[in-house]
Structure 1
Amino acid sequence: MHFESITRADGAFQQSLTAEQIEAACRRGFGREPESAVELGGGSFNTTYRVDFDEPVILRVAPAWSYRIERDFMRHEHASLAFFAPIAALMPRTLFVDFTHDLIPRDYTFQTMLGGVAGPDGLRDLADKKDFFRQLGEIVRTVHGVRGERFGRPAGPTFATWSECVLSTLDDTARDLRDAGLDDSDVREVQALAAKNADVLDEITEPRLLHGDLWVPNVRLDNGRIVGVFDHDRASWGDPAADWSLYEAGSRPGTDRDAFWDTYGQRDESPNAAWRANLYRAVHMGAVRIERHRLGLTDKIPASYEQMAQVLAELR
């Protein structure tokens, strides 16, 4: 088997597999060894390979460890897969999953390979970027139309109320920050405000499916059309307004991103909805801070405290 891996520093978060591990995983999943396995760059969480048999497939391998708010992402992705049926034609097919840790001491999955080009590359070349965001708005609206029974991550834990779910996420975020040696006091203040205003959160009574990371980096494009959607490992059941897609769509008003709302539908502008939207911004900022720390982007961490202070001023 031809094998190529990415050289990383000792202690790096992402760790490559050996050729022998990939061969063993392929024998288990497909009954034979592949012609080649080439590690792909671009992602920052899972380790990913293009594996060639008669047709290429994608092998994704979970990290050896993760923070609480990032834990068991691959298991959440697998548990939620059936609920993404309305957009199944856009998503890769899962070919084989192994969570036993028998051959590799990490979760891994094989999936079909999507066509098209990477979203950032395809978007850069588009003359009409508004049409792209209209397509994205329609896809996100379709995902949010799927109803659930409880709030939380698909593989658990789940919660009877939205406020319990949000408070748990904020608690995990604060604990992760503390474990990382970062100041968690602003997230703890957000948590206290969320607890004080639990009734505002609990106006959300129906869990809806959230992709968790559906934006430009996680789509594939072909001649301006979105032909692929992937990486729903942050999927959850919650308030659609809390999804990352809406956070990104509203982050640069007055730009082409505004076309997202043409197909998704306009946001609830009521005072309670506006308060929840600010709270969700704080939740996302806490997650972004953890991610920046994990990626070693220490120069960008101070900005997260400045942004959180602005959000806190609006929540108080």
Structure 2
Amino acid sequence: MDSVTKNRQDAGVLAAMVERAYGAAAVPRSVGGPSGWCTELGNGWFNVAYRIRLRDGRDVALKIAPPSDVEVLTHERDAMEVELAAMDVLRSHVPDLVPRIDHVDRTHDLANATWFFMEFVEGSDLGVLSSRLSFGERERQLENVGRLNRRLNDIPGESFGRIVEATSGSWRTVFVTMVEDVLSDGERRAVDLGLPYDVVRATVARHASVLDDVVTPRFVERDLWDSNVMVRDGRIVALIDHERAMYADPLMEYGFIGSQLPAFGHSSAFLRGYGTSSLSKGEALRVRLYGLHLAVTMAVEPAYRGHTDARQHEFAVGQVRAAVDLLNRGSLARYGAGITEAARRARTRAGGVARRLGATADS
């Protein structure tokens, strides 16, 4: 997937990065010729990543953050620092699933961004592999993901929030702020959500009290979908792309979203592996809120990525409407003035962001 956030570099810069990380003796001899020693890994949507073959034949992986002058979503600022911190946490609990970090560079002098080298893991991502698996084998792998995800969620945190800045004792405060951040990002680029922004704000405000049921911060990947799971010989060998990790409610994990919004994938195998047979009413409401946040994020992302393919936005807009309708029990009109008033209060609490940008409440 192409994106303006992908900070691609030529062979000369990549060679300079290799020298800084591993020494001059590691730089491939063919830097001035064909660049068969470096291959872009194309499945990521945010950072650019390369497979680099060092002079001694070892393969390593290089990830480069977006250039510092490229505007990203609010929650994506310092995303590489979040990933590095998350990998440190995971290394203490599931060391066999976290690639070794070889070198981190924060000088910004070679690529106007942070970058790091890590161990290259041989394997196929589960998203690509799934099309070649039988139904039964795919179900088994998704059960394995659920089982593993449960292990990750058992990692406790001291406060709610992103790994690098977990400072709040209130999950409601953190989540409502996350929603407001992505809505403000969308308003800044005039992104169409398929519904007025105030309806989304009001829907979250109506149900926000259910978030108070979450009192214990837990490590949450948030982005553990098929393509971030590496499999070799039928076994999960690595987890990748931890930029969204935080201390949060485990029900925010991607694997739960499909239990309420089926377009995000059938979740029964994941739930079996996780050890959850059913959700309570309050848990289901929380998952619906998290699905709404995910859908809004996916609708806003393309405006910051420079995507020319409208499919992600169109899909996400449909899911925004589905999530709002589900949370509002199938009828937006039923709540009429109540939604308008809740939206007004949410707008005020958010510092008048929507008013300054000209958004209007709509039932």
Q: Give the structure-1-normalised TM-score.
A: 0.88
Q: Tell me by how many angstroms 1:76 deviates.
A: 0.4
Match of 1:67 in 2: 73
Look up the SS of the partner of 1:221 in the other structure: strand
* 8 A Cα contact 2:218 2:248, kept in partner: yes
Of 260-269 and 127-136, more deviation after overlay is shown by 260-269
Match of 1:3 in 2: none
Structure 2: 5+ residue runs without aligned partners? 29-36, 329-363
Look up the SS of the partner of 2:326 in the other structure: helix
CA displacement, residues 185-243 of structure 1 (integer Å, 9 cap, x when unaligned): 64543333434443311110111111121121011222222122111111111000012
Match of 2:60 in 1: 57
Match of 1:16 among 1, 5, 8: 8
Match of 1:155 in 2: 164
Match of 1:260 in 2: 270
C-alpha separation in 2, matches of 1:112 and 1:288 = 30
Look up the SS of the partner of 1:86 in the other structure: coil
Structure 2 residue 42 is matched with structure 1 residue 41: yes
Matched ranges for 1:224-303 at <5 A: 224-248=234-258, 251-252=261-262, 257-266=267-276, 269-293=279-303, 294=305, 295-303=307-315
CA displacement, residues 46-101 of structure 1 (integer Å, 9 cap, x when unaligned): 11111112211000001122221322211101122222132220121111111221
- Bigger-Rg structure (1/2): 2
Match of 1:113 in 2: 120
Q: Tell me by how many angstroms 1:309 deviates.
A: 2.3
* 8 A Cα contact 1:167 1:191, kept in partner: no
Structure 1: 5+ residue runs without aligned partners? 1-5
Going from structure 1 to structure 2, the CA distance change for 1:60 and 1:313 (only over 3 Å counts) comes to same
AA at the equivalent of 2:62: L
Of 151-160 and 51-60, more deviation after overlay is shown by 151-160
Q: Give the structure-2-normalised TM-score.
A: 0.77
C-alpha separation in 1, matches of 2:249 and 2:198 = 21
Match of 1:77 in 2: 83
Match of 2:138 in 1: 129
CA displacement, residues 100-137 of structure 1 (integer Å, 9 cap, x when unaligned): 21332111110101122232232222232221111111
* 8 A Cα contact 2:260 2:284, kept in partner: no
AA at the equivalent of 2:218: R
AA at the equivalent of 1:272: G
* 8 A Cα contact 1:26 1:34, kept in partner: yes
Structure 2 residue 17 is matched with structure 1 residue 25: yes
Moved over 6 A (4+): none
C-alpha separation in 2, matches of 1:131 and 1:83 = 27
Look up the SS of the partner of 1:158 in the other structure: coil
Match of 2:104 in 1: 97
* 8 A Cα contact 1:186 1:309, kept in partner: no
Instruction: Report percent identity of matched pairs.
Output: 27
Q: Tell me by how many angstroms 1:256 deviates.
A: 6.8
Look up the SS of the partner of 1:147 in the other structure: coil
Going from structure 1 to structure 2, the CA distance change for 1:296 and 1:267 (only over 3 Å counts) comes to farther
Aligned residues: 307
Q: Tell me by how many angstroms 1:145 deviates.
A: 0.6
Q: Tell me by how many angstroms 1:43 deviates.
A: 1.7
Match of 1:313 among 308, 313, 325: 325
